[in-house]
Each structure stands twice: as structure tokens, then as C-alpha cells.
Chains A and B, each alone.
Chain A
């Protein structure tokens, strides 16, 4: 197994009361220069003496010298990361896994569908498309959250919604005051996305229930299964397909995924216990 490399926390950005972004930079300039990743890949982040967890990279590949990781404070290691401040040192191994099919998406609509904090692995896709706008057709961003207050990067969504050929469709199960978008779940947004008649590549991330509900809506609107991509989440401890925790049928999600084309994982998708 490769050793972690030391990285410095350049900044810790508070997104909500429980969600924060660590902006990291390798301290070794040689590593910084060699490091490459594609959107959808993840790193194993190591907190000294505490543990190591997989976190997807949300920043743009062109900024590989500065790696952003958006983290929700839910466990022992993330609680430790939440305490870090600029200048602190952690370990980083990676990148791991198969990322989003950015080449397949060239010249087509890019449809990003997320739920909950699922937006983190696809935010890198949004940045990627916006930075190379001429390579893609329309950008459609669909996001569902439980409560309006759970939406992070709200200003960003508002800014994206004003860009040409970019559509932002948001839904919250409970909107709350000052929620300007839809109340309900993601599947109610499809009619507004106007996918019929265009070739679209869909990139989904978030709760499996949300992804399962979206698939028939996409098929109804003519999106081919091979153009529907999902990022899967499972327990990952090694990142190299050895420790066995992330198995989903015959796939090791950490190395065969985390991004899969729908036909590759369809047989077990939504089967409880896998």
C-alpha cells in the first residue's frame, strides 16, 4: 500500500454548522507537481493518531495543487477534521477510483442529479463543465434536500442559475421560509428539465432511493442506460480493492467505481443488503 503524503490545511471553510470544506496542499512540491485526478475520484484523508476516511475531491483538476474536500461531521475522524485550522498537517493517499465520464459527456447535455450532501462528488463536475463551457451542451443541475436549510453553496446555486445554457432545479421535502424553489422530491423536477430530444449524460450521486426514483424518469425521457452514471458510497478502508468492505456484488466500489454506468450495477442496485 502506498504511504500517505503530508498535506497542509490551507483553509477550513464553514459551509453549515455540520459541513465544512478542507482546502489542502501537499507540502512536498514534487508530490504537488505529480498529483493528477479526475472529477469523481476520492482521497483517503488521514488524521494523525485517529484514522483514515475516503472523501471525494470537489475542486477542479486544473487546481490540483489545491485540493478541496467537503466533509460532514458525523463520526470520530470527521469530528477531528472539524477541529483543524489553517497550518495543521494531515495525511493524504490518492487519488482512488474511477471518476465521471467527462469525455463521453462532451458535446452533450450534462445532467447532474444529487440529493443531500451527495452534491459534493458532482460539484467538481459542475466546476469542470463551467470552466470548459464550449465543450458541453446544456448544464442541468438538479438537487433534492430534506430541508431548505440543508442546501449548502446556496449562493453558488443562485449564481449558476443565472448563467447561459445552465438550469438549476432544486427541491426540498420541507422548504421552510424563504425557499424560492420547489417543495417535494427530485423526481418532480424532470418535466422542467426538458430532456426530450437532446442527448444527455446523467451523473447522479446521493441516496440510492433518490437515484432509483430518478432512473425511470430518465428512461421515460429517452436517456439511454449507458448514459446514466451513478457514484456509489460504501465503507472503504484501503482504497485499493483489498480490504473487502466496499464490495457491491462482484465490484469493489473503491477501485471499480465509485462511479458506475447504470448497466454495470443495475442487477443489485436497490437490493437491500448489498
Chain B
């Protein structure tokens, strides 16, 4: 369909229609001095007049006298915690009266969630997680149940942060698919278009207007500007060969001297999929849950095997993370595992910059 225009006053109508269609809407809000995606009841809760300044090791909220509510790049999380839950029960075991073990799958009743304000980088990351959890021989039932219930309302990124480099990875700042609805925010309202049949039928319920040539031009200019302002970049979209040819590079040691191995980067990374499995027995001893939690390759436990830690040094763990993210991901899923969201740069307590490290290790490889 042709893009149409939704006046700002009718953004609340979109929320009402989502509610009427049975969705819980999750949207960005200003909580604890960060943009967080949480269930929302009213458009008043959106981060109006908020912008975010991001630098290596820094994330700062700024307030403006402005109507816009999507004039920032991203927060620490977006879609990942909704589909790959930070903690989730995989199965439960119990002992019956005869002493037999019985295993039960958790029930995951469909909970349709509409997410408003999804960025292009996060859609790309979601597609990578989709490939990991649902590709291959084994489908991950938990991820499948959560992703099947998602309705994605993307908003093209108009204000990339200094840490953003999605233009260089090819994952943004404008969306090229993977959404049900797509919005571009202008001062007076939103340019909207659908990307799915579900999206189109929802749009049919909204009081849309024809797009003026001025609005159309402003949208195109804004998209172009959002790509043009990005200054960070990776040297190439495929660094696999360059990284694995540099396993003895001295930079691994120098980054290890700065890296705290805290795992912030893997926690905020929208594509990192590692998780550990745990068992929690009830105090009564009658049942025990088998659950998974996000894990990080920066922990010693990640590579532990019967008394041996394969990656005992931080240099080895940083190298594992980077050679996987930008290298062996190509073997696994046919592309790099980095979508250029820049979160690992902003949320690193010491401001380690993946683009800087990759460039130092791989050199300026032609893309």
C-alpha cells in the first residue's frame, strides 16, 4: 500500500485499536533514566521530548520542549527479552506417589504482544535470533511460542546515536522488512505503511490521511540524514577471514587489559543467544524446575568442563566473543552477528568500542 499519514493526535487511536484487537502493547518509556520497553496504557507514557546521548561507556537522557516521542536511537533492550526471556522454565520434573519421575512441559498460552517503536537494527537482530532458535533440526519451543505472538510496529530511526553503525552493517537506520506496521515520525504526526496482512487490516481501522508531497519529502530527507550522520563503521560486513587470521594479534591482550569481563555487552546485545540451564527444586522436594537463564561467554563458567576452563583468560573470552560475533556467525547463519546497534559500546563500563577493536585487529579491509 501507499504510505499514509496519521496525525499525532491519533497515535492514541492506534493504541486503542491494538487493545481492541486483543494485544498487550509494549512501548518505549523513560524509566530509571533509560528508554525501556514496557506495557503501556496511554500515549502519555511515551518518552515525549526525550533524546539520548550515547558515547562509549555513557548513556545520558536529555529533555527538550518537543512533541516527538521517538527522537532517540535505542535503550539497553528491545525485542530480545520478549522472545528469548532472561529466565524461563523449560520443563518441570515431579515425583509421583509411586516414586516415578514425571516430566511436564510448561504451558505457554498465546499472549499477543504488539511492540511499538521497534528499530531496524532490532528487527535484524530478531531475524538472527529466529534463525538460531528456530532454524536447523531442533525448534526452540519457548522462543517459537513468544515470537509467534508478536506484532511489530517499527519506527524508522531518525536520531541515531554517536555509537550507532547500522548503516555500515546494512541493518538500518530505515527498515526494509520484518514489520507489521512501519512509522516515520514527523513533527506533526506519522507516515504509516503496513508490511503484513495483519498490519494492513489494522491500518484500515485508523483515521488516516493522504500524504502531502511535503511530508513525503521530509520523510525521505530524514531517512537519508539518519544514515549520513553515522560516523562509526565496521571495516567490512564479513571479517571472518581477517579475524581468524589474527588470532595472535597483540590487540587481544590490550583489550583484555581494559575489559572487566562483566558481560554487559552480551546482556545488551540483541543477537547474543547463550544461556545456561539450571535446576531449582522446591523446598518440599516434590517438584523441580529446569530453567534457562541468559549466560555470557565472558564468564569462566561458560567454557568450564570437568575441572578445566577452556577460556581462562579475558583475552581468550573477548576473542571468543568477537570472533564469534563478527566471524564464525557467518558459518552458522550466513552473515555477521552484529547489527550495528552500538549497545555494547554505550553500556560497556569502560567504553570498549567493537568498531575500534575490529578495525585495530582486522585493519581497514575493503568492504
Residues on A close to B: CB < 8 A? 1, 3-6, 27, 46, 48-52, 72, 74-75, 89-91, 233-235, 237-238, 240-245, 247, 249-252, 255, 267, 271-274
In the complex, residue of chain B having the shortest beta-carbon distance to the beta carbon of A247: B324
Confirm or deny: B285 has a beta carbon within 8 angstroms of a beta carbon on chain A.
Answer: yes
Q: Flag whether B23 is at the interface (Cβ < 8 A).
A: no
Shortest CB distance A243–B (Å): 5
A247 and B90 alpha carbons, distance in the complex (Å): 21
Shortest beta-carbon distance, B259 to chain A, in Å? 14
CA gap between A209 and B332 in the complex, in Å: 27
Cβ–Cβ < 8 Å partners of A89 in chain B:
99-101
Contact A244 B275 (CB under 8 A): yes
Q: Bound complex: CA of A44 vs CA of B141, how far in Å?
A: 18
Please, what's the 1-or-0 string for B128-171, where 1 marks a CB less than 8 Å from any CB in chain A? 00001100111011100000000000000000000000000000
> Which chain A residue shows the least CB distance to B244?
A267
Cα distance A273–B275 in the bound complex, in angstroms: 19
- Asked if A90 and B101 sit within 8 Å, CB to CB, the answer is yes
Chain B residues touching A, range: 35 or more
A245 touches B93 (CB 8 A): no
- Residues of B near A255 (CB, < 8 A) are 136-138
A211 vs chain B, min Cβ distance (A): 15
Whether B188 sits at the interface, judged by CB under 8 Å, is no
B102 within 8 A of A: yes
Interchain Cβ contacts under 8 Å between A and B, 21 examples = A1-B140, A3-B91, A6-B102, A27-B100, A48-B288, A49-B93, A72-B306, A74-B306, A233-B305, A234-B310, A235-B303, A237-B276, A243-B275, A243-B276, A243-B277, A243-B295, A244-B297, A244-B302, A272-B316, A273-B315, A273-B319
Q: In angstroms, how far is the closest chain B Cβ from the Cβ of A27?
A: 7
In chain B, positions 305-336 with a C-beta closer than 8 Å to chain A are 305-307, 310-311, 313, 315-317, 319-320, 323-324, 327-332
Alpha-carbon gap, A27 to B102, bound state (A): 11
Residues of A within 8 A of B140 (CB): 1, 240, 242
User: Told that A240-B140, A255-B137 touch, could you supply 19 new A-B pairs with CB distance under 8 A?
Assistant: A1-B91, A1-B140, A3-B91, A3-B103, A4-B103, A48-B93, A48-B281, A50-B279, A74-B307, A91-B101, A234-B310, A235-B303, A237-B276, A242-B140, A245-B303, A249-B323, A250-B327, A255-B136, A273-B310
Known A-B contacts A241-B136, A273-B320; the reply to A250 vs B330 at CB < 8 A is yes
B143 closest partner in A (C-beta): A242
Closest residue of chain A to B84, judged by CB?
A242
B279's closest neighbor in chain A, by CB? A51
Pair B138/A242 contact, Cβ less than 8 Å: yes
Of residues B99, B138, B244, B324, which shows the largest number of chain A Cβ atoms within 10 Å of its Cβ? Answer: B138
What residues of chain B lie closer than 8 Å to A271, measured between beta carbons? Answer: 247
CA distance A92 to B337 in the complex (A): 33
Contacts A72-B306, A235-B303, A273-B319; is A242 near B101 (CB within 8 Å)? no
Known A1-B141, A242-B140; contact A46-B93, beta-carbon cutoff 8 A: yes
Contacting residues, chain B, for A50 (C-beta < 8 A): 279, 281
Measured CB to CB, the nearest residue on chain B to A237 is B277
Interface residues of B in 76-102 (CB under 8 A from A): 90-91, 93, 95, 99-102
Minimum distance in angstroms from A220 CB to a CB of chain B: 27
The chain B residue sitting closest to A243, CB to CB, is B275
- Which residues on the A side are within 8 Å of B304 (C-beta)? 235
Question: Contacts A1-B141, A91-B101, A255-B136 hold; do A49 and B281 have CB atoms under 8 A apart?
Answer: yes
Question: How far is it, in angstroms, between the C-alpha of A49 and the C-alpha of B287 when the chains are bound?
Answer: 8
Chain A CB within 8 A of B59 CB: no
Complex-state Cα separation, A72 to B306, whole angstroms? 9
A274 contacts B137, C-beta separation under 8 Å: no
Contact with A along B230-244 (1 / 0, CB 8 A): 000000000000001
Tell me, in angstroms, the Cα distance from A5 to B100 when the chains sit together: 11
Q: Is the CB of B273 within 8 A of A242?
A: yes
Q: A49-B285, A50-B279, A234-B305 are in contact. Are A245 and B274 (CB under 8 A)?
A: yes
In the assembled complex, the Cα of A244 lies from the Cα of B290 at a distance in Å of 17
Q: What residue of chain A has the Cβ atom nearest to residue B90's Cβ?
A: A1
Question: Does B105 lie at the interface of the complex (its beta carbon under 8 Å from any beta carbon of A)?
Answer: yes
Report the separation of the CA atoms of residues A75 and B292 in the bound assembly, to the nearest whole angstrom: 20
> Which of B102, B133, B317 contacts A242, CB < 8 Å?
B133
Complex: A250 Cα to B329 Cα, angstroms? 7
Q: What are the residues of chain A within 8 A of B105 when measuring CB–CB?
A: 3
Question: Which A residues touch B281, using CB under 8 A?
Answer: 48-50
